[in-house]
C-alpha cells in the first residue's frame, strides 16, 4: 500500500515502543532503496547503512546511545555512517560535510519507513566511538545517526500539531 507523500510527512512520529514482529524483507529493501537514491554532493554517496538484527549488538548500540535500552526492543537498529570528505560545504563545514549527505539519505529512509507503516526514532544521543566499537566499524567511518526500525506497539501515527507556525520559521526577503 502506497501512502500519499504529505500523509507520510504529516504523520511521521518518533516511535519509542516497538512490537517484536519482523520487518518484511520487501519493506526493508524499499526503505534502503529510498536511502540509496537520495541526493548527495556530486553523487559521491559518502555513506553506509548498517542493519543490526543481532540482539547483543543492538543492546551494545543502545548502551552507546545514552543507555536508551528501548532502542534494542525494535527488530532492527539502523546505524548510518559516513566518512570525511576532501571538500568543504558552505566554505565552513570542512571534511565533516558528509554529515549533510548522510542526513539527507537518513531522512529519506525514515520517511520511507513511515510509508511502509513502520516506525523510527532519529537518535542523536550516541557516542561515535562506542557505537563503532559495538559494531566493529572501520576507523574512517563516523556515525551520523541511529534509528530503531519496526512496527509501533501503539497506534501513534497522527498529524502533528505541536510545530511552530510558518510565520515563525519563514521570512520573505
For 121-133, write each residue's pLDDT tens digit.
999 999 999 999 9
In a domain, 5, yes or no: no
> Span 142-163, mean pLDDT?
84
Predicted confidence at residue 89, as pLDDT, reads: 86
In a domain, 50, yes or no: yes
Predicted confidence at residue 145, as pLDDT, reads: 98
The mean of the pLDDT values for the chain is 93
In a domain, 97, yes or no: yes
The Cα 52–Cα 66 span in angstroms is 18
Predicted confidence at residue 105, as pLDDT, reads: 98
What DSSP element (H or E) covers 33? helix 25-36
Predicted confidence at residue 3, as pLDDT, reads: 80
In a domain, 156, yes or no: no
> Span 153-157, mean pLDDT?
73
Instruction: Please give the DSSP secondary-structure letter assigned to residue 144.
Output: E
The Cα 27–Cα 115 span in angstroms is 10
Structural domain count, the chain: 1
CATH number of the CATH domain containing 32: 3.40.109.10
For 53-91, write each residue's pLDDT tens digit.
999 999 999 999 999 999 999 999 999 999 998 888 899
> Span 104-111, mean pLDDT?
98
User: What's phi and psi for 8, nearest 5 deg?
Assistant: -60, -50
Over 80: is that where the pLDDT of 119 sits?
yes
Predicted confidence at residue 52, as pLDDT, reads: 98
Predicted confidence at residue 1, as pLDDT, reads: 56
Which domain does 140 fall in, by range?
14-150
**Given the C-alpha cell 518484511, which residue does it identify?**
24
The Cα 56–Cα 51 span in angstroms is 13
Amino acid at each position: 500500500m502506497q501512502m500519499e507523500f504529505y500523509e507520510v510527512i504529516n504523520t511521521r512520529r518518533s516511535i519509542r515502543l516497538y512490537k517484536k514482529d519482523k520487518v518484511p524483507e520487501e519493506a526493508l529493501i524499499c526503505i534502503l532503496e529510498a536511502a540509496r537514491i537520495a541526493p548527495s554532493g556530486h553523487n559521491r554517496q559518502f555513506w553506509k547503512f548498517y542493519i543490526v538484527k543481532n540482539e547483543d549488538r543492538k543492546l551494545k548500540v543502545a548502551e552507546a546511545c545514552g543507555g536508551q535500552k528501548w532502542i534494542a526492543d525494535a527488530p532492527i537498529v539502523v546505524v548510518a555512517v559516513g566518512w570525511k570528505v576532501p571538500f568543504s560545504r558552505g566554505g565552513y563545514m570542512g571534511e565533516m560535510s558528509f554529515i549533510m549527505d548522510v542526513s539527507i539519505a537518513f531522512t529519506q529512509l525514515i520517511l520511507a519507513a513511515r510509508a511502509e507503516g513502520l516506525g523510527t526514532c532519529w537518535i542523536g544521543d550516541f557516542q561515535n566511538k562506542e557505537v563503532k566499537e559495538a559494531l566493529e566499524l572501520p576507523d574512517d567511518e563516523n556515525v551520523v545517526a541511529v534509528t530503531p526500525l519496526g512496527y509501533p506497539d501503539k497506534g501513534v501515527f497522527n498529524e502533528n500539531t505541536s510545530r511552530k507556525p510558518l510565520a515563525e520559521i519563514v521570512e520573505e526577503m
